């Protein structure tokens, strides 16, 4: 089972980078050899970014303009930002967005403000497994207007799946719980997650989208690798509160980056990010603390 997941990850990673041997890279080696490494997401990666779909991915220095090949990185990178945007706006323990396919993309420079991508994509709600074709616009600011990508997207059909009862149930169960929930390594090295931990894994993914939305540029392609841990804190102002440590994978640089996130969730307010902090890159951090 372990080997299956590892192979899936290797296929995904080599498929995207074209590198013959990912274990040569300390960063991916880090991820792939970590005893509790990843990657449920790699499964989707092969679907979206299979070897046969993406080419010429690394050496695209010049930003493509005009009509884009929907299977190449410029369009895929911009489209991935839409996924993060949808998660930050509408994500929940029971609603999780994915990018299913890019149908078309168009990029243009916008005087003084950046580059604008117009995209036709199929977005996916992963829990109900529903898809919808939607239009989106992503502006990567430039020059004076530094900052995160600005996104507009309408994928309203995906919001119609009724998750209110499940949300309320989870909320009531953990709102006044004596034992604050805590979990590590979602998913574990076998790609497994305890069923009752899945909502918290989803929350970790949604929270990670806040980072990925904020950090994405035309030169990045972030994926969630793993929720290293998530710990519930005491409920404040009717919001469930969580502290989480997540590992994100930039498919372009092949780096695994670590973030510490503090966020809240409630059915009424959704996920709100309180604090996000990138942790220094550190191989020692991944190792058990008590081996010396």
Ligand X SMILES: *[C@@H]1O[C@H](CO)[C@@H](O)[C@H](O)[C@H]1NC(C)=O
Region class of 270: left (phi > 0), else alpha (psi between -120 and 50), else beta: left
Indicate whether 214 belongs to the interface with ligand X (CB under 6 A): yes
Q: Which strand ranges, in their side-by-side order, compose the sheet holding 66-68? A: 66-68, 97-110, 114-125, 130-141, 150-154
**Which x/- pattern, by CB under 6 A, does the window 155-174 give for ligand X?**
--------------------
Pick from 1, 3, 20, 178 the residue near ligand X by CB under 6 A.
Answer: 20
Closest CA to 40 of 205, 166, 199, 200: 205
Q: What length does the chain have?
A: 292
Indicate whether 276 belongs to the interface with ligand X (CB under 6 A): yes
Instruction: Give the nearest distance from C-beta 279 to ligand X in angstroms.
Output: 8
Residue 120, C-beta contacts closer than 8 angstroms, at least 6 positions apart: 102, 103, 104, 105, 133, 134, 135
| Strand pairing category for 66-68 and 270-279 | unpaired
Measured from the CB atom, the residue of 19 and 106 that comes closer to ligand X is 19
Indicate whether 23 belongs to the interface with ligand X (CB under 6 A): yes
Pick from 2, 43, 147, 160 the residue near ligand X by CB under 6 A.
Answer: 147
Instruction: Give the nearest distance from C-beta 116 to ligand X in angstroms.
Output: 18
Measured from the CB atom, the residue of 164 and 285 that comes closer to ligand X is 285
- Asked if 103 contacts 78 with a C-beta cutoff of 8 angstroms, the reply is no
Instruction: Give the nearest distance from C-beta 185 to ligand X in angstroms.
Output: 9
Measured from the CB atom, the residue of 98 and 105 that comes closer to ligand X is 98
**Which x/- pattern, by CB under 6 A, does the window 219-248 give for ligand X?**
---------xx-x-------------x---
Instruction: Give the nearest distance from C-beta 66 to ligand X in angstroms.
Output: 27
- Asked if 16 contacts 220 with a C-beta cutoff of 8 angstroms, the reply is no
| Strand pairing category for 97-110 and 66-68 | antiparallel
Backbone φ and ψ of 258, nearest 5°: -110, 130
What CA–CA distance (Å, rounded) separates 124 from 168? Answer: 23
What CA–CA distance (Å, rounded) separates 275 from 210? Answer: 10
Instruction: Give the nearest distance from C-beta 156 to ligand X in angstroms.
Output: 19
Q: Which stretch binds ligand X (CB under 6 A): 15-23, 50-58, 94-102, 263-271?
A: 15-23
Instruction: Give the nearest distance from C-beta 243 to ligand X in angstroms.
Output: 7
Alpha-helix runs per DSSP H in the chain: 2-17, 26-33, 40-49, 73-90, 164-175, 198-215
Instruction: Give the nearest distance from C-beta 8 to ligand X in angstroms.
Output: 15
Q: Which stretch binds ligand X (CB under 6 A): 1-9, 17-25, 85-93, 172-180?
A: 17-25
Indicate whether 35 belongs to the interface with ligand X (CB under 6 A): no
Instruction: Give the nearest distance from C-beta 44 to ligand X in angstroms.
Output: 11
Q: What angle separates helix 73-90 from helix 198-215, to the nearest 10 degrees?
A: 120
**Where does this chain bind ligand X (CB under 6 A)?**
20-21, 23, 129, 147-148, 214, 228-229, 231, 245, 273, 276, 285
């Amino acid at each position: 089972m372990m080997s299956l997941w590892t192979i899936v990850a290797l296929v995904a990673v080599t498929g995207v980078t074209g590198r013959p041997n990912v274990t040569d890279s300390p960063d991916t080696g880090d991820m792939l050899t970590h005893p509790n490494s990843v990657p449920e997401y790699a499964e989707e990666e092969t679907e979206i970014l299979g070897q046969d779909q993406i080419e010429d991915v690394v050496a695209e220095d010049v930003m493509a303009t005009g009509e884009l090949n929907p299977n190449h990185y410029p369009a895929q990178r911009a489209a991935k930002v839409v996924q993060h945007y949808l998660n930050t706006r509408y994500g929940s323990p029971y609603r999780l967005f994915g990018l299913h396919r890019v149908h078309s993309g168009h990029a243009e420079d916008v005087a003084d403000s950046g580059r604008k991508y117009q995209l036709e994509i199929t977005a996916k709600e992963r829990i109900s497994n529903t898809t919808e074709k939607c239009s989106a616009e992503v502006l990567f600011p430039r020059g004076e207007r530094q900052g995160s990508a600005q996104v507009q997207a309408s994928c309203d059909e995906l919001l119609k799946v009724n998750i209110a009862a499940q949300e309320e149930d989870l909320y009531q169960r953990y709102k006044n719980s004596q034992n604050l929930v805590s979990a590590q390594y979602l998913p574990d090295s076998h790609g497994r997650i305890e069923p009752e931990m899945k909502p918290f894994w989803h929350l970790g993914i949604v929270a990670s989208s806040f980072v990925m939305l904020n950090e994405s540029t035309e030169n990045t392609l972030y994926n969630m690798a793993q929720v290293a841990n998530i710990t519930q804190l005491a409920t404040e102002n009717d919001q469930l509160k969580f502290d989480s440590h997540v590992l994100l994978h930039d498919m372009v640089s092949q780096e695994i980056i670590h973030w510490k996130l503090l966020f809240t969730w409630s059915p009424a307010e959704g996920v709100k990010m309180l604090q996000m902090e990138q942790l220094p890159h550190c191989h020692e951090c991944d190792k058990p603390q008590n081996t010396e």
